[in-house]
Amino acid sequence: MREHELAAPPESVARPRSDALTDLAPATNGGAARNGGPARQAAAVHQAAAVHQAGAVHQAGAVHQAGPAHQAGPAHQAAAAPEIVELARDWFDAIALTTFVPGGHARGLPVLVDCLGQFATALRARPLDEIAGYRVGSALVGANMSAPETLGASLTLLGQRLPPALGVDSEPERSALAVLLGRFATGFTDALRDHALTAAEGIHRAERVAWRHKQQRLQNNLQHALLHDPLTGLPNRAGLTRRLSQLLADAPGGARLGICLLNLDRFSAVYDSLGPAAGDQILLAVSTRLSALAARQGNVVAHLGGDEFALLIERTTSAEDVIKATDEALAALPEPICLDDGHEISISGRAGIVERSAAGTDPTELLRAAHITLGWVTRNSRSPWAVFDPRRNAADLARHALGAAMPAALRNGEFTLVYQPLVRLIDRTVVGAEALARWRHPQHGLLGPAQFIAAAEDTGLIEPLGLHLLRLACAQAAEWQELASGPHLVSVNLAVAQVRHPALPALVADVLDRSGLPAHQLQLEITENAFDDTGGANLTNLHALHDLGIRLALDDFGTGYSSFAYLSELPIQAVKLATGFLRGLNRSDAPRRSNRTILPALISLCHDLGLTITAEGIETAAQAQHLTRLGCDLGQGFHLASPTEPDQIPGLLGGIVNATNESPDEPA
């Protein structure tokens, strides 16, 4: 026992004793005890031991389980000597200064009375029951009187008060009590360590549980964030793809499904003008409407980003099911949306529809098909929706493949020209030829312009391709001068992108200079849509070409929304009629208004303006004869002459065609 543990108790603990406990104190002056002396002390020790043996608190080392002992507390206190109870109260007060004791006196006092009884019983035992001190120390910790300071306070108090209370006055008894208190300290320390380890393990287990719960919550939140749009809360592209994967994996045989991919018209303009907050409000309003609609229909709605939404119809019988759901979704959009800033916005949408069998369907491929279909609608459809068409898609893929191969084809010289003779109808004389583009494709053979010009426009190669063909045509036409007699004309088509290029006049002048072809023998054919800006660069280019001495021809006049103002305002010298004007000119056809009224008036008007008229697509003798009677200047078509290779043209120039390629009554 350390010295400070045997020091005098604090003032709050060492208060005056009651008469009963004072009588138990050892006598001074010769060992005589007051009020009865040794007999009174022996009685107290005996009573304390009897209380311990009879009490319900001490249960073979399980004293720290306070339940039953605490319930028996009042009866136990009544059986204990008053001085023992008083000492137990003082001990409790000393402990209470070091730690909080749950339940206060009602729970703690019976434990301490029992502990004092164990000390008394141990002192009477022969040999000394040392383990009792260990049990008392452990019981104290088990009763939640377990602060480290509790041990010091207990040893101080017990070292001072226990000897007189139990009548310990001989050296052997004092030594025995010191042994018991030492074992008490060991029991307390061991129990406190075990308690701390158990508590630490419990804390560690609790921390692990809390950590796992936190990680699961974080994982759930992350999973939700990965699969849902943060603004609308709807499934995003990844969430929709997962749903599609589950649906396709679980689909029974013969099941079908459909998807509608929808975007909002003019959303970008509204977003740019009113700002992100307004854009978010519009998206939230649209998502609310589509979600309500999908809930009624039993469908799934997703927000794929930006102004793009998807409607998944999980069970269909035909495309009509998806079309119906799409019509309802589009009809829900135009209702005005009131924004926080007071603006009222009405929005509309377009949709791409895909409906197919679930068997063999891939989520990515399904969404790709929907995107393709939406692109068709967005680019050039008057309908607010379209249904995916595999044949159209195959044609698009073929065109894209051709577009990808075009740069190499241009470098390799795969693009070439054939020429269709231009015939003067009055005497059937060949006066020139129109250059027609061809692609000698290594796999697909000879391709006409209808098969690759659109791809060239899509890929931006139309300008270099057009320049290549112009150079080729001028070079070949220059060679014809040495082989053919008299002047002749070579006519070359210009794409709209070429007409709009600011360097076009300089490029054409360079081509003429390099080839040696006179400018007046070159005719450039330009379609009406190249003249959509007669006050801008296009018109400037046309006048510059005219000033070079080049002939300009308005091609396919009569298609689209033709304007007669073009004929007088633009610097053109020729007009090429669209093939539609020739329909109805066969003898077997019923007369048409174009035959009797429009065509003669148009030819007469052009002549009055000093323009040359060329009719394209002459397929029959009846057409050629009728155009000749109307005064049409030039003609071309299979009836007059088929397209031919460049080396055949010199032999045709200046000659008379033998128009026997088609029967007179063959339809156009």
591: which DSSP letter? Answer: P
Query: Which helix (H) or strand (E) segment is 665 a member of?
Result: none
| pLDDT value of position 37 | 41
Q: Is the pLDDT of residue 3 over 50?
A: no
Query: What is the rounded distance in angstroms from the CA atom of residue 286 to the CA atom of residue 284?
Result: 5
Q: Is the pLDDT of residue 8 over 60?
A: no
Q: Residue 302: name the closest of 293, 311, 294, 315 by CA.
A: 311
Q: What is the CA radius of gyration of the chain?
A: 54
Query: What is the rounded distance in angstroms from the CA atom of residue 314 to the CA atom of residue 294?
Result: 11
Question: Helix 276-297 to helix 267-274 angle, to the nearest 10 degrees?
Answer: 140
Residues facing residue 614 across a β-bridge? 576, 634
Q: How confident is the model at residue 34 (pLDDT cuts 50, 70, 90)?
A: very low
559: which DSSP letter? Answer: B
Query: What is the rounded distance in angstroms from the CA atom of residue 522 to the CA atom of residue 546?
Result: 11
What average pLDDT does the chain have? 84
Burial readout 589-599 (b: 16 or more C-beta within 10 A, e: otherwise):
beeeebbeeeb
| pLDDT value of position 588 | 52
| pLDDT value of position 596 | 63
| pLDDT value of position 12 | 34
Query: What is the rounded distance in angstroms from the CA atom of residue 604 to the CA atom of residue 601?
Result: 5
Query: What pLDDT, in 10s, does the model give residues 275-318?
Result: 999 999 999 999 999 999 999 989 999 999 999 999 999 999 99
Cβ-proximal residues to 46 (8 Å cutoff; 6+ apart), any chain = none
Q: Residue 550: name the closest of 574, 528, 577, 575 by CA.
A: 574
| pLDDT value of position 29 | 32
Q: How confident is the model at residue 537 (pLDDT cuts 50, 70, 90)?
A: low
User: In the chain, where are the structural domains located?
Assistant: 3-201, 237-388, 413-652
Instruction: Give the 3-state secondary structure of residue 655.
Output: coil
Query: What pLDDT, in 10s, does the model give residues 335-381?
Result: 999 998 888 999 999 999 999 999 989 999 999 999 999 999 998 77
Query: What is the rounded distance in angstroms from the CA atom of residue 25 to the CA atom of residue 145?
Result: 27
Q: CA of 489: how far to CAs of 220, 523, 524, in Å? A: 76, 7, 10
Query: What is the rounded distance in angstroms from the CA atom of residue 173 to the CA atom of residue 447?
Result: 123
The whole-angstrom distance between residue 2's C-alpha and the CA centroid of its chain comes to 71
16: which DSSP letter? Answer: P
Q: Is the pLDDT of residue 225 over 80?
A: yes
Strands 522-527 and 256-264: unpaired
Query: What pLDDT, in 10s, does the model give residues 408-461?
Result: 999 999 999 999 999 999 999 999 999 999 999 999 999 999 999 989 998 899
Q: How confident is the model at residue 562 (pLDDT cuts 50, 70, 90)?
A: low
Query: What is the rounded distance in angstroms from the CA atom of residue 505 to the CA atom of residue 133?
Result: 116
| pLDDT value of position 93 | 92
CATH superfamily of 237-388: Reverse transcriptase/Diguanylate cyclase domain (3.30.70.270)
Q: Residue 113: name the closest of 193, 196, 52, 28 by CA.
A: 52
Cβ-proximal residues to 366 (8 Å cutoff; 6+ apart), any chain = 244, 259, 354, 356
Average pLDDT over residues 519-524: 97
| pLDDT value of position 597 | 77
Average pLDDT over residues 463-484: 94
Retrieve residue 539's tokens.
């018109």
| pLDDT value of position 561 | 60
| pLDDT value of position 592 | 56
Virtual torsion, Cα 35, 36, 37, 39, nearest 10 deg: -150
Query: What pLDDT, in 10s, does the model give residues 484-513?
Result: 777 799 999 999 999 999 999 999 999 999
Q: Is the pLDDT of residue 9 over 80?
A: no
Q: Is the pLDDT of residue 216 over 60?
A: yes
CATH value of 413-652 in 3.40.449.10, 3.40.50.2000, 3.40.50.12170, 3.20.20.450 = 3.20.20.450
Kindly report the number of other CB atoms within 10 A of residue 602's CB atom.
22
Query: What is the rounded distance in angstroms from the CA atom of residue 608 to the CA atom of residue 484?
Result: 32
Q: CA of 639: how far to CAs of 25, 417, 542, 563, in Å? A: 146, 20, 33, 30
Half-sphere exposure of 477 (CA within 13 A, CB side): 33
Most confident of 137-146, 211-220, 464-473, 537-546: 464-473
Select the more confidently predicted residue: 637 or 592: 637
- Could you give phi then psi for residue 312, rounded to 5 degrees? -100, 120
Burial readout 415-438 (b: 16 or more C-beta within 10 A, e: otherwise):
bbbbbbbbbbbeebbbbbbbbbbb
Query: What pLDDT, in 10s, does the model give residues 385-410?
Result: 999 999 999 988 988 899 999 999 99
Number of H helices, E strands in the chain: 25, 16
Strands 300-305 and 308-313: antiparallel
| pLDDT value of position 461 | 94
Q: Percentage of residues in the chain with pLDDT exceeding 70?
A: 83
Query: What pLDDT, in 10s, does the model give residues 611-631?
Result: 999 999 999 999 999 999 999
Query: What is the rounded distance in angstroms from the CA atom of residue 309 to the CA atom of residue 301?
Result: 7
Average pLDDT over residues 462-466: 96
Lay out the sheet containing 349-357: strands in order across: 300-305, 308-313, 256-264, 349-357, 385-387
The answer to whether 433 and 422 have CB atoms below 8 angstroms apart is: yes
**Cα 238–Cα 244–Cα 245 angle in degrees, nearest 5:** 90
Q: What's the sign of the alpha-carbon dihedral 313, 318, 324, 330?
A: positive
14: which DSSP letter? Answer: S
Cβ-proximal residues to 606 (8 Å cutoff; 6+ apart), any chain = 567, 575, 612, 613
Kindly report the number of other CB atoms within 10 A of residue 624's CB atom.
25
- Could you give phi then psi for residue 354, rounded to 5 degrees? -130, 130
DSSP state letters, 144-155: T---HHHHHHHH
Burial (0-12, 13-18, 19+ Cβ within 10 Å), 568: exposed
Q: Percentage of residues in the chain with pLDDT exceeding 90?
A: 62
Query: What is the rounded distance in angstroms from the CA atom of residue 591 to the CA atom of residue 585?
Result: 7
Query: What is the rounded distance in angstroms from the CA atom of residue 248 to the CA atom of residue 475?
Result: 61
Kindly report the number of other CB atoms within 10 A of residue 449's CB atom.
14
Residue type, 567: L
Cβ-proximal residues to 357 (8 Å cutoff; 6+ apart), any chain = 254, 255, 256
Query: What is the rounded distance in angstroms from the CA atom of residue 88 to the CA atom of residue 165?
Result: 11
- Could you give phi then psi for residue 461, rounded to 5 degrees? -90, 5
| pLDDT value of position 509 | 98
Instruction: Give the 3-state secondary structure of residue 450.
Output: helix
Q: Is the pLDDT of residue 4 over 70?
A: no
Query: What pLDDT, in 10s, does the model give residues 629-652?
Result: 999 999 999 999 999 999 999 999
Query: What is the rounded distance in angstroms from the CA atom of residue 512 to the CA atom of residue 313?
Result: 62
